[in-house]
Every structure is written in structure tokens, then in C-alpha cells.
Amino acid sequence: MTAPVTPLRRAERALEIPRGRLLAAVLASCATLAAAFALAAVSAYLVTRAWTMPPVLDLTVAVVMVRALGIARGVFRWLDRMLAHDVALRGVVSLRTNLFTALASRTDDALTRLRRGDLLSRLGDDAQELGDHVVTALVPGLVAVVMGVVVLATITPLSLLAAVTMLVALAVASLLAPLAAYRAARLTEQAVVTSRAAVGAGALEILDDATALRIDGRLEQALAELRTRQAAHDKAVDRAALPAAVASAAVPLAMVLAVAGSLLAAGAAWTEGGASAGQVGVLLLLPLSSFEAASALPAAASQYARSRAAAARLSEIVGQPTPEVHRSSARSTAPTLRAVGLSAGWSAGAPRVADLDLELPPGARLAVVGASGSGKSTLLATLAGLLEPLEGRVELTDDAPLRSAVTLFAEDAHVFATTLRENLKVVRSDLDDGTITAALSAVGLDDWVATLPRGLDTLLGSDGTTVSGGERRRLLLARAVIRRGPVLLLDEPTEHLDTARGDALLRALLDPAETTLVPADSTVVVVTHRPEAIPPATPVLHIGENARTRLEEGR
């Protein structure tokens, strides 16, 4: 019977690290430490042999080797860093690609129920932990095994006593110290990761909703809760630091043990007259450079614990996805969106919408109105297939999967820290500049684009051009316009716009005669707080208290 695959093993597979590149990184690191080890041995021989004042020519080879090994160590260290980080960065790219592919194929609402800050923390911090897993845990672990064999093979011919002492010291440094670090880190890492996600989620919510929180008088409370979460995170980090320090102290203690054994072996060899001055010098000084690989193992064990926790968290959001069967987008007719006996909400005990029957044929327009918090966004998420209905069902008449046919414009959709062009190509990779420019012009962003320093190549976000609330809404609307799906759901697309421009945009979306933004046969559902700007012929769905709904036909 096949043993179940652990989350960390699944994550390592998702990194898609080529064995050849990993082997090259390990060999480069081994070469670096081997050069340092050989440099220490030759230097010890040179110093002690020179003490006996031999002919100068007897020392020439050792002098040249010291120079060559000193240069080689620097060259191999550079090569080691380049290869190890190349493997790690390529792995993180592959991991994130596989994560997004797996997340896109999920058909349940697990991701919708996650706080956005928590999801970003997992895709950002946890994915980076697995990149560090390669550099800090995987490569050093393999290198320590190789270098342990090299050290023992070098010392054994010189002195059996020194070799036995070194074996015990290496066992302490390579087994007991990492085991202590791993056990200590595992006890605290889950608390660290959880508290970090809570801090990230809380900070993101405050940044996104600072104005609303201030108006509601809840900003100070939210900041206090964030400070509490940050304090809990700091305490968790402090708990993780102490056992890691204890584990690191085991390596110097092992070095003391190895040096003591070498002193005894060197003393015995010198008194018996069976060893030269150079050999005695090697026995005395070689243990000091024998633990460079082993000294990285406590940190590697701690990283392994963090990697396991990160992989487990990523496994929770990836789950066991069931890919949807995507049918051809070339439909003979646009589908009808239908809700039958629909109850929608985040928990069965508190539905936001109840007993809704709705049928939207191709080309239909519908406005959804209601007080803040009444359930308008919840309804759109359910119609888009992102939130499972509490009761009833949502379907398309051609049996197409909802997520492949319905485009949802969410008010908290992400604007990526990349160029304006790439922010639109996220919905369609084959876009040309003409299509992008036309979409931006259709949503009223042509004047803004004209002011950008590099046009479509301008970077957006904290490291580039700042995007205002109105510009952000219209940029997200341009994505939905470019998508041109048969069903388009829009959540407050005119928010943060001036009244005249927002009302004009709302009328363009809800008037079937207006085809600048959406085709005439596309179904459009718009959530709005401006009922007075809704075209008279547009049906309006009112969401009231106690999850009651009322459909008002167009006047």
C-alpha cells in the first residue's frame, strides 16, 4: 500500500527543481567547503613545517596551494550562491504557477471564505518559505553529509583516536543539535505562522477600509486589535529564538570536543615520534575548519520546520481540486442565468438573500440595490459560483460551468504591482495594445493614460504610479470589458467617481442600446447605490431586511 504524500513532499514536487541544477548547486557548495577545509589543512602543515626550518624549496608547493585554495574558495563560493539561488528562484516561480493553476481549478468556495490578507500571506510568505527551503535546508543538508565523509576520510589515516573523537563530535553537531532545533521550532512555528497571517490580514483590511472604519467609529478598535495581534506575533517569534540559540550552541561545544580529541592524538603521536611536525599541525588545527557544514544544520532544521508548516497551509488552500470541464467558448446562443429557490449567505443561520427565483436571458440588464451590508456582494459571489448556495441552485441553460461563463467585477479585486498593460493582460494574455487602449477609453481612462510617464508600460502600485480609488475602479471595469463574457456581474463599478461621470457609466452599462462597454447579447447585473441613475426600463432587484427580496420590473 502506497504511503500518503506529505504536504511538504507535494510542495517540493510543485517547485519542479531539475535534479541536474540541484546537483550542481550541491557540488558547488561542497567544492567551497572542501577548498576551505583543504586550505586549513595545508596552512597548518605550512606553519608547523616552517617551524622546523627546512629548505625553502620544500615549502614551495604548500605556499602555491595556499594561494590557489584561497582564490578557489572565493570562486566556488560565488558559484555556489549563484547556483543555489537560481534553483530556489526558479522553484518559487514554478511553485506559484502551479499554485495559481490549482487554485483556478477549485470548484468549491473555500478560497472565497478566506480573508484576503490570509490568502496573500499564504501565496507570498509561505511560498517564499519553500524557496528558502531549497537554499537553507535542502542544499546544506546534502552538503553536510558529503563533507562529513570527506572530513573523516582525511583524519582517519592520520590518527584513529582523532577520527573517533571527530565522529562523535560530528554526530553531536549534525544530529543532536538539528534535532533539538527542529523540535523547538516545530513547537512554536505554527503559532508564528498563524499570528503572521492574522497581522497581515488585519493590516490589509484596515488599509482597504480605513475611511469606512473611521466613519463608523471602529478605526481605533481595529488598530488596537492589530497591535494585539502584532504583540502575539512578537511573543511567538521570541519563543522560537531561544531554542534555536540553544541548538546553535551545541555546534561550538562539539568543536571543543573534537579539538580536545585532536590534542590527545597529536600529543600521543609526537611523544611516540611517529608523526612529523606537519602532521601534528594538521591534527591540531584541522578540527577548527571541519564544522562549517555542520554549523548550518540547526538553521536548516528550523527552516525544515517552517517549510513543513508553510506547505501544510498551502495544502489547505490547494486542497484536492476537481477541474471544471471547460466547453468551447463559441456558443451558438448566449446562455440564460437562472437562480431557483436561492438562499445565499456566509452561514446557514444568517442568510442574506432567501427564496430568490431569478431568470436572466441573454441581453438582460438588472440593477441590484439595498442598504450597505444587506447582501448584494454576497448575491453576486453566489451567482458567479464563488460561494456555494445555502439552498437552491444557480445554473446556466447550456450547462456550462458558472466560473467559465460568468465574469465577476469584485470591489476588492487586486491591482498588481506591475505595468498597466500587464494588469489588463491578466484576463487575456493575447491582448494587443489597440484593444487595451480601446477598453481604457471606453471606461473613461484615456485622459489618465495620457498623463502616465510611460503610457501602458507605466508601473502601478507603491513602487510606481499611485492609482486613485476612481481610477482603480475603472481599471478593474476595463478588465471586465475586455473579458467580454456572456454574463457580467459588477459590484459598485461607479464608486469613487464624480456623480456625473459615474451616472453616465452606470447608464452605459444598463442600457441595452449602449454597446460601447458590453455587447448587446451579454447579461449584465450591476450593484449600485445610485437608484436615481438607473435607466427607467431596467429591472431592479431590491434586497431588504431579513433577507427579503423584491423584483421591480422596468418602468
CA atoms within 13 A on the CB side of 468: 9
Amino acid 397: pLDDT: 84
Assign 3-state DSSP to the chain and report helix, strand, coil percentages, each to 5: 65, 10, 25
Q: Which of 243, 131, 246 is nearest to 188 (CA)?
A: 243
Residue with cell 584541522: 286
Task: Give the dihedral sign, CA 534/536/541/543.
Answer: positive
Could you list the pLDDT tens digit for every one of the 555 residues in the chain?
Answer: 455 678 888 888 888 888 899 999 999 999 999 999 889 888 888 888 887 788 878 888 888 999 999 999 999 999 999 999 999 889 888 888 888 888 877 777 777 777 666 677 777 778 888 888 888 888 999 999 999 999 999 888 888 888 888 899 998 888 888 888 887 777 666 666 667 777 877 887 888 778 888 888 888 888 988 898 888 878 777 776 777 777 878 888 888 888 888 888 877 777 776 666 777 777 878 888 888 888 888 888 888 888 888 888 888 777 654 544 444 444 556 788 999 999 998 888 888 898 899 999 998 999 999 888 888 889 998 998 888 999 999 988 877 778 778 888 887 778 888 899 999 998 888 889 999 999 898 888 888 999 988 889 998 876 667 888 888 888 988 888 888 778 999 988 888 788 888 888 888 888 888 877 888 888 999 999 888 889 888 999 999 887 788 888 865
Distance of CA 213 to the CA centre of its chain: 28
Q: Counting beta carbons within 10 angstroms of the beta carbon of residue 524, is it exposed (0 to 12), middle (13 to 18) or buried (19 or more)? A: buried
**Interatomic CA distance for residues 507 and 429, integer angstroms:** 30
CA angle, 116 as apex, 345 and 112 as ends, to 5°?
35
Q: Write phi, then psi, for 546 (nearest 5 degrees).
A: 60, 35
Query: What Rg do the C-alpha atoms of the chain give, in angstroms?
Result: 32
Is the entire prediction scored with pTM above 0.75? no
Phi-psi label, residue 491: left if phi above 0, alpha if psi -120 to 50, beta otherwise:
beta
Q: Which of 478, 134, 170 is nearest to 295 (CA)?
A: 170
CB atoms under 10 Å from CB of 422, counted, come to: 16
Under 8 Å CB-to-CB from 3, ≥6 apart: which residues? Answer: none
Q: Residue 141 belongs to what H/E stretch?
A: helix 139-155
